[in-house]
Structure 1
Amino acid sequence: MTGSYLIGDEMTGGYGGADILHGVTIAVDKGEIAVIVGPNGAGKSTAMKAMFGMLPLRAGQVRLGGRDITALTPQERVREGMAFVPQTNNVFASMTVEENLEMGAFIRDDDFSATMEQVFELFPVLREKRRQPAGELSGGQRQQVAVGRALMTRPSVLMLDEPTAGVSPIVMDELFDRIIEIARAGIAVLMVEQNARQALNIADRGYVLVQGRNRYTGTGAELLADPEVRRSFLGG
């Protein structure tokens, strides 16, 4: 784990006075999918927000490519190659699909048309609907816009908070297929996911958090096969 590309190491912190995270460690390497699962209130989204700089740490550190980035703002982390897709309010509803993608390239001063073409190849429906306001799309299509916009920054790390929340099982499977493709392109993918069984199925690494602490860590296959994990978190 020490050689992983992105590491949140022994993270302790919270909002205001109370700590939500208690020595949590999460790591992911380039080309991998790491999934954070656990019950509601376990600190899953908080851990990911801490790694993106949205939560001050009282202890621990975040390292990217071996460099300590704990003191960097989220904006500075974007410029270092990190991209974060929140669960809700993750598109500009009144802007077209294409305008949303263009907004994702705000940190770039080069020609980003090739990257947009790659996004359209990954999510063909976005090409069809490129002139349509994002607010008129289905939930699954809006998620594609949000992920596509994050990819416009050409990130080395893609962070997804509940990417399949509120979508149908078919759409969920399609999104997971695209996430696998993104990782295969060499991007480190870290996601929080309520659909634990399906997410662990595609995960190279899995982290089960309980009450702000690491409870189980292993490959996706190891966690799926663990009787305790199955009984406590996967419905048997």
Structure 2
Amino acid sequence: MTEHASAPLAGDAPFLIGEAMSGGYGTGPDILHGCTIAVNRGEIAVIVGPNGAGKSTAMKAVFGMLDLHSGSVRLDGQDITALSPQERVSRGMGFVPQTSNIFTSMTVEENLEMGAFLRRDDIRPTMEQVYDLFPILRDKRRQPAGELSGGQRQQVAVGRALMTKPSVLMLDEPTAGVSPIVMDELFDRIIEIARTGISILMVEQNARQALEIAHRGYVLVQGANAYTDTGKALLADPEVRRTFLGG
């Protein structure tokens, strides 16, 4: 049975949770209304819903890019509600925005190096892991990132976030504007990343495909939780399918 509102995840406290979040941008009206988003360690949680539902806003709230008027954000049991996005990165959160997410004039390798700017250890093993995950980036590492295809640019953006060695990777519309084949490849890589123990929180327009790989799904409507359940259960829910997945 699909649960309404902010149903908790099964088991222990989730690794990352934005709980009962209400807020908006600056002095504007609230966009989120008691919204709860959570993900367990090494799992994939997907936020879906119609245009204007507040999906990306919820993600930005969890990352500290939005003023919360109520609610809280906790990472691994620690309250991080008051921390800046930069401080959250240093705590293990990686964020890939939908647009302007690479340095187009820099090479692929320089983009990856920029991702490690907070680190003081040897970044080469992590870079090798990124190249193993995205072999095309190894081939094109000396090329300006702006010359790459849309799907390859997304790989650079995700790779750069992975260079911070995050415990949580947050992706805002990672498959926007790419072909179905590239979308499938990106989702396969996202599954691989989660298998290494990294939690994935993702906003996605391709709701049906995203829910197929999700351990947990959140359907938002007008900045509030409409449905919360496993990806499989949401795909099987006739009301969710009829209203949000085109039947």
**Bin of the TM-score, shorter chain as denominator length:** over 0.9
Q: 1:8 corresponds to which letter in structure 2?
A: G
- How far, CA to CA, are the matches of 1:181 and 1:31 in structure 2? 10
- How far, CA to CA, are the matches of 2:28 and 2:148 in structure 1? 40
**Which residue, out of 42, 50, 59, partners 1:39?**
50
Q: 1:61 corresponds to which letter in structure 2?
A: S
Query: What TM-score comes out, normalization by structure 2 length?
Result: 0.95
Cα deviation per residue 1:45-70 (whole Å; 9 max; x = unaligned)? 00000000000100000000001000
Matched with 2:224 is 213
**Which residue, out of 197, 205, 209, partners 1:198?**
209
Aligned: 1:132 with 2:148: no
Q: Segments of 4+ in structure 1 off by > 2 A?
A: none
Give aligned-pair identity as a percent.
80
**Which residue, out of 121, 134, 141, partners 1:123?**
134
Query: What TM-score comes out, normalization by structure 1 length?
Result: 0.99
Q: 1:94 corresponds to which letter in structure 2?
A: S
Matched with 2:96 is 85
- How far, CA to CA, are the matches of 2:28 and 2:156 in structure 1? 36
Matched with 1:105 is 116
Report the CA distance between 1:87 and its aligned residue: 0.3
- How far, CA to CA, are the matches of 1:217 and 1:111 in structure 2? 41
- How far, CA to CA, are the matches of 1:214 and 1:153 in structure 2? 31
- How far, CA to CA, are the matches of 2:28 and 2:132 in structure 1? 46
Secondary structure at the aligned position of 1:186 is classed as coil
**Which residue, out of 32, 48, 54, partners 2:59?**
48
Report the CA distance between 1:30 and its aligned residue: 1.1
Report the CA distance between 1:112 and its aligned residue: 0.6
- How far, CA to CA, are the matches of 1:113 and 1:174 in structure 2? 25
Structure 2 regions of 5+ residues with no counterpart?
1-8
Q: 1:196 corresponds to which letter in structure 2?
A: A
Secondary structure at the aligned position of 2:200 is classed as strand
**Which residue, out of 7, 10, 17, partners 2:17?**
7
Report the CA distance between 1:90 and its aligned residue: 0.3
Report the CA distance between 1:34 and its aligned residue: 0.1
Structure 1 regions of 5+ residues with no counterpart?
none
Secondary structure at the aligned position of 2:170 is classed as strand
Secondary structure at the aligned position of 2:34 is classed as strand
Report the CA distance between 1:17 and its aligned residue: 2.7
In the alignment of these two chains, the number of paired residues is 236
Cα deviation per residue 1:30-88 (whole Å; 9 max; x = unaligned)? 11000000000000000000000000100000000001000000000000000000000
- How far, CA to CA, are the matches of 1:44 and 1:202 in structure 2? 18
- How far, CA to CA, are the matches of 1:114 and 1:67 in structure 2? 29
